[in-house]
Homo-oligomer: A and B are copies of this chain.
Amino acid sequence: MSPHPTRVVVVGADAAGMSAAHQALRTARRTGRDLAITVLDKGSHTSYSACGIPYWMAGEVGSGDDLVARTADEHRAAGIDLRTGVEVVAADVDARTVTTAAGEVLGYDELVVASGAPAVVPDWARRADGSLHDGVGVVKTLDDGAAWRERFAAVGDGAHVVVVGGGYIGVEVAEAALRHGFGVTVITRGRGMSMLEDEMSERVNAALVEAGAELVLGAEVTGLDLDGDTVTGVHWDGGSREADLVVVAVGIRPATQFLEGTGVELTEGGALRPDPHGRVAEHVWAAGDCCEVRRRLDGAWVFRPLGTYATKHGRALGDSLAGGSLSFDGMVDTAITRVSVGEVHLEIARTGLSRADAEAAGHDPVALLTEGTTASGYMPEADPVAIWVLADRTTRRLLGVQVVGGRGAGKRIDTAAAVLWAGGSVDDLAWMDLSYAPPFATAWEVLQVAARRVAERL
């Protein structure tokens, strides 16, 4: 052990930061490093599942506490000096210090940036002082979730909720509001979920409508109607809707302002681009929502602020910082969600490149949509499923798969993701040995039928 412990300052106490901190301590025990880890977080909660907030809003999760994987005290008991309510506002990577909003200057030997990405709030949603109008909110922190629970309880039956944004959060919040029986309007710039091809997002749109939502596609919100300071309606280029509540889910932006001007490279969107071990600069590391991630298939850096990348990259970072060799070797752009309201149950998943991504990467892509069932057609479990498969005509490499269908459809994406991870071909997917029994699949698994059909067209 060295006489002076290595001072590690972690900015952000959520998935990436705490995965890094704990893994660093675990690895340090093996490598004999002496680490003094301080974690600073401007909020009051640690290690909570932001992804779970829509389900808390829906009433499926009983309490916000259920979303907390580990409390601040549990982190402290593990030997981490965790300080909540501390915002870092500046850094000096030459002097190796960070400065807090309270003016405190902390020195570090290694800086871990895991500061996340707060929700983007358009001008129309806020007052002059930057705060949101009453009845308007974002969906990012546990406090946001608690506020939504209160608002949902307060408005009562017959309320109308307008959701601005049709990404994962938008769709999940729409599901939550529909489960409460509220009227729901989803307003989105595009033709539906942008992570899907149009022929797939149309199916999601249809499910939302079947579940009771109104969709306003290709629209840009221009302003709110207010009664005093309380929202009563939403305007867009082409229409308006009365609203009791407005959910703003138009995206998030890396919280990296404190790194501006330090010499640490940021993208135009403010993101960091760490290497597989989490390094971004000398003695500066980063992981999680404040970063872009590398897509293995085309080498592109993309902004995909997902919990699964945060925990994986955070773990690799913590291990590397403490002398280990774990690495986060990028991703293949896998994601999943659902629309589940009453009789409507649609699972939505994607992995790999879109057709546009593939063309941009110089592929000659061939894509086909295949319809089938999640179980043998004669079984009560059989639900319709649509599978879109994209492959390269020349190399036969599998490039992307999207799945939209009933119960059991969504997690099938992992099989396609595994093929993409290995750089496999559409023939691999078509012929590999996947499980079959009537309650679970057709004798030719639908994913394989979809792959085979593409293989036959190459």
Contacts and interface: CB of A to CB of B under 8 A. Distances in A.
Interface of A: 15, 49, 51-52, 55, 60-62, 66-67, 168, 306-308, 311-312, 328-338, 340, 347, 349, 351, 376-380, 408, 410-415, 417-422, 424, 428-429, 431-441, 443-445, 447
A443 B51 CA distance: 9
A437 B51 contact: yes
Contacts of A338: 437, 439-440
Contacts of A376: 49, 51-52
A60 B417 contact: no
Contacts of A168: 437
Nearest to A296: B433
Given A61-B378, A408-B411, A412-B414, A435 B49 contact: no
B438 A49 contact: yes
B434 A308 contact: yes
A336 B437 contact: yes
Contacts of A443: 15, 49, 51, 307-308, 311
Contact of A414 (B66, B311, B328, B414): B414
10 contacts: A55-B378, A331-B433, A336-B441, A338-B439, A340-B439, A410-B435, A414-B414, A414-B435, A414-B447, A417-B432
Contacts of A335: 435-437
B408 A433 contact: no
Contacts of A336: 435-437, 440-441
A433 B349 CA distance: 13
A436 B380 contact: no
A67 B378 CA distance: 7
